[in-house]
């Protein structure tokens, strides 16, 4: 492929739009386009900036508006998507509308197994807290069994599985439960803090120096094939990294499945034969490239953030009250931490090979973690 | 610059969003990002597809919604834009709202000449016909004198100048009038069909085998410095090429001004000293790169269109009425002509040098064209 592009892929991306910065579709669209994917962005909200700034202006799309845009695509025969990536939807009705789109695209592809693949990021909350209305949870639970791959974070995996993740063993149980309850063939749990798990689960601990990503593709009997990738943690909170992970995964999974050959490409949900070990799964191979790209871009982001914060030290704060001063400082720090995407696309296109995937079986765990 | 990127540039892009295909911001955002610009996309409409399909679904932003998004940016100190690119706005009130944004950004940059530049594409119509409400024209006429560069097509230049362009001489007069009436220092008239001009102006003629782009930067006395670039015409109508031209111009003009040095970069509106001849203007140097990128991408688009049309020949049209058959064929052809952007970014980043810019003075014209 010229320009380090992945195989031609048409993606319907359903997520939020922000004018400033990179989250939701404003992250995912450019990331997938940079790798050569043709992306149709169906925006579920239209905000000035991401909510990490703690203030924003703009509007949320209604379920009807989301359905209307899709209907417009149907009317003009513009539904030839290979992949749908669905992220944040602003209400339970909007989640249902997105679900109806995924199901419709799936039905259109019914006669050609493997010709359509749905990656669903069940955006509901993080760090033990829901940030959507309560009724969004059952709405997701209804549609997830149609998805091919879901990308919950640790908290969302707990909500979906009903299992509190306090150890590697319960993590494995949660993934097994997600495969079983929702018949979803591929799962990745993004950024699990194993250090927190391996000590007491409830007390706050300092950030460890690495994060772990755990994924699995089912075997034909429904049992998981688990793999893990450990990556050094960066000392910064970035908005939009979940969307970056999802977008890169769309492109890299498509590439890995294509490399595996016609048989897999024409298999429903791209599920590898049982004799493929977890570390050789397209999902695992994709994940190491995804994390490598992300780590490189985020390292550059930390450098740029530090340079920006050192350069733009506020000077005229003498006459403002402490609350206003604190607010301005928060805005300044949030802006400085925006992911430096557009000038680092070389790391998206050509990830340095720096991480390794490990097969991971429950039996391999040290006894005290089981 | 690594990756063939232009100097760091923060752009506020105000134009339409479509889910499928590439027009408005859905064209401009990716083009500018590919060249390394940080782009904030403020979307003025949210449609399923461009109007060339003759049907679409979606919503138009109200003037209030446009102003609100901008206010959100102001509240969080996210207005550090170097350039604003404004395109289609769906009503006279929306044009005024966009104008107010441009004026506000200009005022914020007042003390640092050259630190903010407004590129305005006065989207009103084409081919002798307005496709906006009549009241949009006076709304544009009010805001254009704040812009630094405007990019009308031939018809829009006629509307703005009040001069019917029927010859090269009247074309020069129209540009001179635009400089004078609106005090706008830079103008480019995109795609003038000189063949049509040099024969009888009113009878329809077959497409000539080249198009001409004419631009000018004023001298300090207000007189124009005209240049022209001739490019081979392609036998296809593409939607979004005006937006592509505008987006590439933002990036390449910024690059050319940067290359000219600090003096020009810190000059209000980036107007070159009087001794710079028209062919050496940053606007002229930028235009040849812009057109080269466009020509390469559109050549690939024609090839891909032809391949797609040859491949997907409709088979099941026996039982549909002629009207429906014609409609389907129009949709098929429109889709096939979508600009092939994402897999051809190498031509955006590294345009082959294939076109030349000519200085052009009224006196140089052959007598029969004056």
Give per-residue pLDDT as tens, A290-332: 999 999 999 999 999 999 999 877 766 567 899 999 999 999 9
Q: Mean pLDDT across the stretch B360-369?
A: 60
Residue A164 banded pLDDT, cuts 50, 70, 90: very high
Three-state DSSP state, A14: strand
The minimum CA-CA distance between A234 and chain B, rounded to whole Å, is 23
Burial code (b: 16+ CB inside 10 Å, e: under 16) for B68-81 equals bbbebbebbebbbb
Q: ipTM value of the model? A: 0.94
Q: A284 versus A237: which is more confidently predicted?
A: A284
Say if the Cβ atoms of A343 and B55 lie within 8 Å.
no
Q: Cβ of B72 under 8 Å from any chain A Cβ?
A: yes
CB contact under 8 A, B72 and A59: no
How many CA atoms lie less than 13 Å away from A264 in the CB half-sphere?
A: 18
Distance CA B25, CA B28 (A): 5
CB-defined contacts A:B, below 8 A: 154
Contact B272, B148 (CB under 8 A): no
pLDDT-based confidence at residue B364 (cuts at 50, 70, 90):
low
pLDDT tens digit sequence for A253-274: 999 999 999 999 999 999 999 9
pLDDT higher than 90, residue B362: no
Helix (H) or strand (E) holding B329: helix B322-336
List all residues of chain A from 267 to 326 with a beta carbon under 8 Å from chain B.
none
Residue B207: band (very low, low, confident or very high) from pLDDT cuts 50, 70, 90:
very low
pLDDT at A367 (0 to 100): 57
Decide if B249 contacts B9 (C-beta within 8 A): no
User: What is the average per-residue pLDDT within B284-308?
Assistant: 96
Q: Across residues B79-88, what is the average pLDDT?
A: 98
Chain B nearest C-alpha distance from A284 (Å): 26
pLDDT at B361 exceeding the cut of 80: no
Q: Which residue has the higher pLDDT, B128 or A72?
A: A72
Band (B199; pLDDT cuts 50, 70, 90): very low
Task: Mark yes or no for CB contact B37/A342 under 8 Å.
Answer: yes
Q: Sorting pLDDT into bands at 50, 70 and 90, what band is B114?
A: very high
Indicate if the pLDDT at residue A43 is higher than 50.
Answer: yes
> Average pLDDT for residues B346-367, to the nearest whole number?
83
Is the pLDDT confidence value at B301 over 50?
yes
- The Cα A169–Cα A160 span in angstroms is 17
Residue A214 has pLDDT above 90, yes or no: yes
pLDDT at B312 over 80: no
pLDDT digits (tens, 9 = 90+) for A219-234: 999 999 999 998 988 8
Query: Whose CA is closest to B156, among B135, B176, B140, B179?
Result: B140
* pLDDT for res A182: 97
Long-range contacts of A159-162 (CB under 8 A, 24+ apart): A159/A124, A159/A125, A159/A130, A160/A122
Beta bridge partners of B216: B187, B226
A47-75 pLDDT, tens digit each: 999 999 999 999 999 999 999 999 999 99
Query: Taking 60 as the threshold, does the pLDDT of residue A206 lie above it?
Result: no
What was the pLDDT predicted at A85? 98
Q: Residue B197 pLDDT more than 70?
A: no
What percent of chain A lies above the pLDDT cut of 70?
A: 91
User: What average pLDDT does the segment B16-28 reach?
Assistant: 98
Lowest mean pLDDT among A114-123, A198-207, B298-307: A198-207
Return the pLDDT at A163. 94
The structure's pTM equals: 0.94
For chain A, the average pLDDT equals 91
Query: Residues 30 to 69 of A: which have CB under 8 A from any B CB?
Result: 30, 33-34, 36-43, 46-49, 53, 55-59, 65, 68-69
Comparing CA positions, the residue from B10, B17, B14, B16 lying closest to residue B36 is B10
Let me know how many helices (H) and strands (E) chain A has, helices first: 12, 12
Burial class (CB in 10 A: 0-12, 13-18, 19+), A110: exposed
pLDDT of residue B313: 74
To the nearest whole Å, the CA of B278 is away from the closest chain A CA by: 32
Q: How far is CA B367 from the centre of its chain?
A: 31
Q: Note the pLDDT of residue A201.
A: 41
| Interface contact A76, partner B, CB < 8 A | yes
Please name the residues in contact with A198: beta carbons below 8 A apart, sequence gap of 6 or more. A167, A168, A369
The CB-based long-range contact list for B206-213 (8 Å cut-off, 24+ gap) reads B207/B233, B207/B235, B208/B233, B209/B233, B213/B188, B213/B189, B213/B287, B213/B291
Predicted confidence at residue A41, as pLDDT, reads 98
pLDDT at A184 over 60: yes
Strand residue runs (E) in chain A: 10-18, 38-47, 58-60, 83-86, 117-120, 125-126, 129-130, 149-150, 186-192, 210-217, 226-232, 357-359
Residues of chain B above pLDDT 70, percent: 91
């Amino acid at each position: 492929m010229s320009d380090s592009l992945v195989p031609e892929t048409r993606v319907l991306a359903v997520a939020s739009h922000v004018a400033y910065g990179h989250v939701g579709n404003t992250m995912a669209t450019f990331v997938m386009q940079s790798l050569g994917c043709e992306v149709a962005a169906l925006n579920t909200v239209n905000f000035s900036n991401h909510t990490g700034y703690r203030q924003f202006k703009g509007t949320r799309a209604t379920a009807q508006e989301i359905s209307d845009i899709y209907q417009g695509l149907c009317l003009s025969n513009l539904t030839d998507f290979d992949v749908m990536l669905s992220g944040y939807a602003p209400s339970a009705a909007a989640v249902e509308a997105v679900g109806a789109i995924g199901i419709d695209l799936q039905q259109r592809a019914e006669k050609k197994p493997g010709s359509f693949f749905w990656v669903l990021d069940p955006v509901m909350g993080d760090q033990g807290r829901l940030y959507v209305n309560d009724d969004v949870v059952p709405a997701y639970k209804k549609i997830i069994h149609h998805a091919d791959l879901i990308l919950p974070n640790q908290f969302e995996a707990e909500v979906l599985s009903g299992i509190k993740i306090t150890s590697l063993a319960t993590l494995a149980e949660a993934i097994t439960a997600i495969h079983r309850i929702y018949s979803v063939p591929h799962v990745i749990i993004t950024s699990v803090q194993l250090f927190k798990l391996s000590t007491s689960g409830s007390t706050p601990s300092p950030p460890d120096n690495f994060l772990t990503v755990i994924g699995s593709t089912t075997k034909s009997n429904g049992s998981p094939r688990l793999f893990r990738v450990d990556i050094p943690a960066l000392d910064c909170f970035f908005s939009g990294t979940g969307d970056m992970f999802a977008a890169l995964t769309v492109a890299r999974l498509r590439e890995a499945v294509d490399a595996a050959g016609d048989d897999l490409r024409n298999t429903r949900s791209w599920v590898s034969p049982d004799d493929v070990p977890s570390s050789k799964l397209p999902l695992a191979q994709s994940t190491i490239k995804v994390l490598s790209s992300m780590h490189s871009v985020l390292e550059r982001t930390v450098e740029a953030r530090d340079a920006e914060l050192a350069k733009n030290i506020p000077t005229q704060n003498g006459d403002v009250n402490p609350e206003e001063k604190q607010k301005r400082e928060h805005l300044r720090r949030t802006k400085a931490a925006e992911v430096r995407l557009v000038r680092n696309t070389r790391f998206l296109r050509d990830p340095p090979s720096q991480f390794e995937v490990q097969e991971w079986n429950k039996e391999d765990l040290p006894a005290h973690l089981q």
